[in-house]
């Protein structure tokens, strides 16, 4: 069961988190292009598409911690420092995405915002948090599993 849960957890991370990080990273430059050419329907359409990808895959991304908790429980590592740090960083990434990145994207899509620099910084923070979680998942400092 552990291997099954781990496979689903990793696949969910790849399938859900990957598209969010890529689409979120593409959004600020696309928004700058759309703001520079307000009559360009293609640029506005690209913004809408990128925002939709971020929203949908953020929802799908809920599977990552769900299967992560199940896997950790099955492995008996819920109290490990590396896992606790990963949980905290994952929660922070979720907050940055849900409370800061997605609303800023919505504002730009709806024509209510223009601060693409702040959005780019927030997106970078979101991506760095996920990179840190990935490193912790691979390195697992203090782990006794030999990795």
Mean pLDDT computed over 129-135: 95
Are residues 147 and 140 in contact, defined by beta-carbon separation less than 8 angstroms?
yes
Q: CA triplet 137, 96, 57: central angle to 5 degrees?
A: 70
Comparing 4-8, 12-16, 55-59, 142-146, the range with the smallest average pLDDT is 142-146
Binned at pLDDT 50, 70 and 90, residue 145 comes out as: low
Instruction: Delimit the domains of the chain by residue range.
Output: 2-139
Mean pLDDT calculated for residue range 119-144: 90
Confidence (pTM): 0.91
**Model pLDDT, residue 14:** 94
| 83-124 residue pLDDT tens | 999 999 999 999 999 999 999 999 999 999 889 999 999 999
User: What pLDDT is attached to residue 141?
Assistant: 78
Task: Give the model's confidence band at 143: pLDDT under 50 very low, under 70 low, under 90 confident, else very high.
Answer: low
Helix extents (H) in 13-144: 18-36, 41-60, 63-75, 81-95, 102-109, 116-139
């Amino acid at each position: 069961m552990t291997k099954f849960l781990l496979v689903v957890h990793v696949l969910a991370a790849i399938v859900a988190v990957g598209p969010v990080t890529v689409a979120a990273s593409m959004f600020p430059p696309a928004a700058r292009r759309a703001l520079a050419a307000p009559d360009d329907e293609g640029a506005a359409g690209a913004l809408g598409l990128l925002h939709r990808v971020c929203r949908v895959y953020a929802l799908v991304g809920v599977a990552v911690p769900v299967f992560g908790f199940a896997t950790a429980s099955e492995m008996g590592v819920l109290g490990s420092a590396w896992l606790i740090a990963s949980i905290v960083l994952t929660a922070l990434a979720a907050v940055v995405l849900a409370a800061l990145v997605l609303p800023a994207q919505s504002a730009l899509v709806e024509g209510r915002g223009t601060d693409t620099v702040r959005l780019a910084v927030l997106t970078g923070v979101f991506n760095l948090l996920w990179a840190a979680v990935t490193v912790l998942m691979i390195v697992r400092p203090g782990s006794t599993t030999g990795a």
